[in-house]
Structure 1
């Protein structure tokens, strides 16, 4: 990194203790009567007051210098003065108790000590005369210098993170920069408190990340909070993401003594991370739109020139290859899922597939087809061992998505269905196979069990043939003649029972078990269906014809415009 701000924690604020150390004030031999624990309170300004009702003139955070001339001779007046000034929120009060002869006023010290007994407000008495004008000048120089340093530090921090944004820095580089600026560990986590990037700032990575999700706390906007019980750590966090779409947080587990300066650095880092994610999203969306449009042109046949197609693919980031394999991936439905959830899953699957191909050094071009599915053209070195390489790719992508564990039978369920078309030696030839791959996916989606990692058209057998005949008028006429009466009079429940019976091959005992019916109820239903259809289901040819008609409906066939 070429530009680096100084350590933010070195810019300590002007506190009560620092003002008491000024030479002109230290010459007065200060004695702290109360509020010793609050000497680290920051001072906003320094005022000299020697009047009653001083609280109305103050705004809070001031260090007040006074000779006590209006209250030093009366315990009640002293108590009233300190009540008034404490209510105004001052940082501390310094009282010079020196008489006209230059001697310390011990009696006044006794009265004031009694009046401030038990207070948390820092009250300091001076045993010798101090030059208040010179004290205020010196203190104000410190305060102004602190404000200038703070502005200069903010400017440098702004320049650093603005530069990172203009350079297109990623999230890890921004986290590294924030950790270097702060001299403290920084963690970028997502909404589920999973660590996306971190920098331990030279400390122990194990100690930083141990049980991180369980230790992560706090929500909402920028927050300062105490660290773990028994520690003096100051924990800071700021959200990342635009308002209403917060996707994570930047966290500093221990900001040290410079928490205020660290909060500013963390906030600017959070803004830079948000901009980096938005810029990456915009670039990815534009690229994905271009890839999808290119695939659509290939599939529609509007782009037929092989040289132009190859040049377009290379311009979109896909290297040429001897063989191209087309396949379509469709996500399994999730009950109750809304369109946004499906879109997010589709994006995650697309990203995983692209990352898996990149990791295996395979050229690939992917684009959306319809909601929940996308097409891929995969470049291979040869047509040999295609199944193994495609299986490895899908396993890698599934692992990136943290795929499911094997079930009791040893099979690993996947969250998608993959249909594969025939490989070709050109992009346009492979794109033509995407239609077959898409049809295969649609057929597989109608099957109750699909454990293969991918399917070809030949794997779906009769269902595949029937799928190709979905729009065939003669097939529609056949189905109407076989099932017409049942469709118009009995409804879905009868079709469901008929399907169970046919899948059992006419075995009534098995059908009764699967349908949870008694034998008399089963026979009554079969008799009713046979009466409506006008055929006997004891006849193997009749069962076959009716079963084919049912399968045609399942793979997407339509009667009278309705499925």
Structure 2
């Protein structure tokens, strides 16, 4: 199995290393520069109608029965259609057809052609390859379950946004930044800071340039930035899961921590002007005990017209020097 862009996949080159192929004295007759083609299935074909059954990624096995009576032009059209369908390559046991006409067509259309020097049972090849493919899918599934379980465990432990960010960084081996909409950091992973590669990727993201950084909105009023090591499909699903869990964690925080400082200042101003609703008064009242949750215009203010946030009397909502 080969690691490509963080994903473990099977390629034509990997097939060459299988014992069942090596024992058949396999060789590369065409398309050697395309051996990194991804193999998603193995299919035996002995009819020219094979192209209608392909969906991409198939490695095709044939003894050449369907090729024996074809002209060079017909063979070229067949290989062209197979290549357009996204086949990974062809394996030929030249029992019924010569190698060179097929090899020339494969060279023309840049399709790998493997030729077996000895008779080989196609059922043995399909069995081994499909076993490898299923094992790879099972490993992917197990990793997906593990990623989700680790993130949800961090959420259940009530570690808050910082704990979830640390957990996401650990499970993805990634650098992570959770920030407010005004770009004030809430939490990072690793805790000792983000490196130059992350900061450059973040800068490119903010300039709307291509970057490996993945960013997700997190309500209320935050954004998650992740620079993963692998960046495969499972990593992106984990980022989505983390964004959801972080939204829940932020919403569950005490109101004083939930409202950004800039928003709190605006709420204080609205309170002073008598324009804030009861919910806003409650939020500011909790985070700033010197401000009464039932303030009215013209009352509970300092001489300068601003509410007090220090030395307040929580029972009466006024500062000590405002009391008679």
Q: Deviations over 1:425-457 (max 9, x none)?
A: x643x53559969xxxxxxxxxxxxxxxxxxx9
Cα distance in 1 for residues equivalent to 2:141 and 2:183:
33
Residue 254 of structure 1 deviates from its aligned partner by 4.4
Provide closer, same or farther for how the CA distance between residues 432 and 226 of structure 1 changes in structure 2, counting only shifts above 3 A: closer
Cα distance in 1 for residues equivalent to 2:67 and 2:215:
48
Provide closer, same or farther for how the CA distance between residues 86 and 366 of structure 1 changes in structure 2, counting only shifts above 3 A: farther
Q: Deviations over 1:435-488 (max 9, x none)?
A: 969xxxxxxxxxxxxxxxxxxx9xxxxxxxxxxxxxxxxxxxxxxxxxxxxxxx
Question: Secondary structure at 2:15's aligned position in 1?
Answer: helix
Cα distance in 2 for residues equivalent to 1:88 and 1:36:
19
Question: Secondary structure at 1:159's aligned position in 2?
Answer: helix
Matches within 5 A, 1:110-149: 110-149=100-139
CA root-mean-square deviation: 4.6
Cα distance in 2 for residues equivalent to 1:210 and 1:421:
37
1:248 to 223, 230, 239: 223
Question: Given that residues 172 and 197 in structure 1 are in contact (C-alpha distance below 8 angstroms), is that contact kept between their aligned partners in structure 2?
Answer: yes
Cα distance in 2 for residues equivalent to 1:179 and 1:331:
39
2:82 to 81, 85, 106: 85
- Which residue is equivalent to 2:306? 418
Matches within 5 A, 1:303-342: 329-330=268-269
Answering whether residue 188 of structure 2 is matched by residue 239 of structure 1, we say no
Q: Deviations over 1:296-330 (max 9, x none)?
A: xxxxxxxxxxxxxxxxxxxxxxxxxxxxxxxx942
Residue 282 of structure 1 deviates from its aligned partner by 3.9
Stretches of structure 2 lacking an aligned partner (at least 5 in a row): 259-266
Question: Given that residues 88 and 112 in structure 2 are in contact (C-alpha distance below 8 angstroms), is that contact kept between their aligned partners in structure 1?
Answer: yes
Residue 10 of structure 1 deviates from its aligned partner by 8.4
Question: Given that residues 174 and 227 in structure 2 are in contact (C-alpha distance below 8 angstroms), is that contact kept between their aligned partners in structure 1?
Answer: yes
Stretches of structure 1 lacking an aligned partner (at least 5 in a row): 1-8, 100-104, 220-224, 228-234, 289-327, 334-338, 358-363, 377-415, 438-456, 458-563
Matches within 5 A, 1:148-167: 148-167=138-157
1:41 to 37, 40, 52: 37
Matches within 5 A, 1:231-310: 235=212, 237-241=214-218, 247-252=222-227, 254-255=229-230, 259-260=231-232, 263-285=233-255
Question: Given that residues 226 and 239 in structure 2 are in contact (C-alpha distance below 8 angstroms), is that contact kept between their aligned partners in structure 1?
Answer: no
- Which residue is equivalent to 2:204? 215
Select the structure with the greater relative contact order (CA < 8 A; seq sep ≥ 6).
Answer: 2
Question: Secondary structure at 1:330's aligned position in 2?
Answer: helix
Question: Given that residues 11 and 39 in structure 2 are in contact (C-alpha distance below 8 angstroms), is that contact kept between their aligned partners in structure 1?
Answer: yes
How many aligned residue pairs are there?
A: 304
Residue 142 of structure 1 deviates from its aligned partner by 0.7
1:176 to 148, 166, 174: 166
Residue 133 of structure 1 deviates from its aligned partner by 0.8
Residue 211 of structure 1 deviates from its aligned partner by 4.5
Q: Deviations over 1:371-412 (max 9, x none)?
A: 99x989xxxxxxxxxxxxxxxxxxxxxxxxxxxxxxxxxxxx
Answering whether residue 26 of structure 2 is matched by residue 30 of structure 1, we say yes
Residue 188 of structure 1 deviates from its aligned partner by 3.8
Q: When the two structures are superposed, what TM-score results if normalisation uses the length of structure 2?
A: 0.72
Provide closer, same or farther for how the CA distance between residues 15 and 51 of structure 1 changes in structure 2, counting only shifts above 3 A: same
Answering whether residue 5 of structure 2 is matched by residue 15 of structure 1, we say no
Question: Given that residues 178 and 266 in structure 1 are in contact (C-alpha distance below 8 angstroms), is that contact kept between their aligned partners in structure 2?
Answer: no
Q: Deviations over 1:338-365 (max 9, x none)?
A: x9xx99xx79x959x94xx8xxxxxx46
Provide closer, same or farther for how the CA distance between residues 174 and 93 of structure 1 changes in structure 2, counting only shifts above 3 A: farther
Question: Secondary structure at 1:418's aligned position in 2?
Answer: coil
Question: Given that residues 291 and 318 in structure 2 are in contact (C-alpha distance below 8 angstroms), is that contact kept between their aligned partners in structure 1?
Answer: no
Q: Which has the larger radius of gyration?
A: 1
Question: Secondary structure at 1:128's aligned position in 2?
Answer: coil
